[in-house]
Structure 1
């Protein structure tokens, strides 16, 4: 797997420099899928941008999604004719756009797509994620056909979770993709 074909899919508001996604970008040469508007994300725009980047990959890509990036993966897979261009996906701390508190800021992301993903995936969830209940994360994993990994009490599995470079997460990715 070529590092430039491992695509980082941040969530709403992007991932800052201390986030494990940004650290993986720096450490391993993975490539971030930049969106036109991180603060007011529109599902259709984000799907189109992911499709554009995937069509430019020279081999099947691996998606490394966090939060809203997980919902992007599911929505893209439900609409794209190019799902064979994805080898696998690591889905971490999905946000739940159907939660009442998130609907006003993420109006175009409901309903959440719940179809089985056409490629192997692992969903890593936290028992105390403020943006998605543990039970909802398990439901999403089942709907998407993802293997579920319980990270315990890790919050939103972001920079505030204190994971640093998150080597255990990278080991899950390596196992999933045989990097």
Structure 2
């Protein structure tokens, strides 16, 4: 059984210090983080291409861990790249149709993803109404986890290490993470 590579897919403006994605990228063994050329003025072709290149560069299957605009970027992957994806944790998706700087990512694809996915959304996310997140989950065939009063599930809403997210990631992996793997390095 080939162990998938975990690929961290940040959203608009990247995931800075203390964000759970940054902590996971630093601490999960073998994790790879997607680095975009322009975090402030994202363009769909460039972002999808960079994510696709990152997926294709891995020696085997991958599990994606996307946040915000990273979720929408993931949904735009072409079939030949998506076929390499074993699973995806999609957290606090963005709403590019209501945010001008993200408009290049609209319309959001509404077709089933060809891999298992878990979409996590908050009922008070200021960047995506929970109803829209639920519509994404239905369209993409994702398991839907609604988290009460969790904001955008980022540092600003009090999510650093985010153990619930780590447990959800574990549900997408064929083997357990080694005990303490995430916490084996100093913060």
Bin the TM-score by the shorter chain: over 0.9
1:103-142 alignment to 2 at 5 Å? 104-142=100-138
- Provide the C-alpha distance between the structure 1 equivalents of 2:11 and 2:26, rounded to a whole number of angstroms: 18
The two structures have a TM-score, normalised by structure 1, of 0.92
| CA deviation string 1:93-139 (max 9, x = no partner) | 0011112xx0x211211111111000000000000000100100100
Q: Assess if the C-alpha contact under 8 Å between 1:51 and 1:80 holds in 2.
A: no
Q: Secondary structure at the match of 2:46?
A: helix
| CA deviation string 1:16-70 (max 9, x = no partner) | 0111000111221421100111001100111111111111101100100000000
- Provide the C-alpha distance between the structure 1 equivalents of 2:128 and 2:160, rounded to a whole number of angstroms: 22
- Provide the C-alpha distance between the structure 2 equivalents of 1:2 and 1:31, rounded to a whole number of angstroms: 14
The two structures have a TM-score, normalised by structure 2, of 0.89
Map of 1:83 onto structure 2? 82
Map of 2:166 onto structure 1? 170
Q: Secondary structure at the match of 1:24?
A: helix
CA RMSD of aligned residues (A): 1.3
Deviation at 1:176, TM superposition (A): 2.0
- Provide the C-alpha distance between the structure 2 equivalents of 1:17 and 1:136, rounded to a whole number of angstroms: 28
Structure number having the greater helix percentage: 1
Q: Assess if the C-alpha contact under 8 Å between 2:3 and 2:174 holds in 1.
A: no
Q: Assess if the C-alpha contact under 8 Å between 1:7 and 1:64 holds in 2.
A: yes
- Provide the C-alpha distance between the structure 2 equivalents of 1:119 and 1:2, rounded to a whole number of angstroms: 16
Aligned length: 173
Q: Is the deviation greater in 10-19 or in 20-29?
A: 20-29
- Provide the C-alpha distance between the structure 2 equivalents of 1:54 and 1:175, rounded to a whole number of angstroms: 20
Unpaired runs of 5+ residues, structure 2, are: 176-187
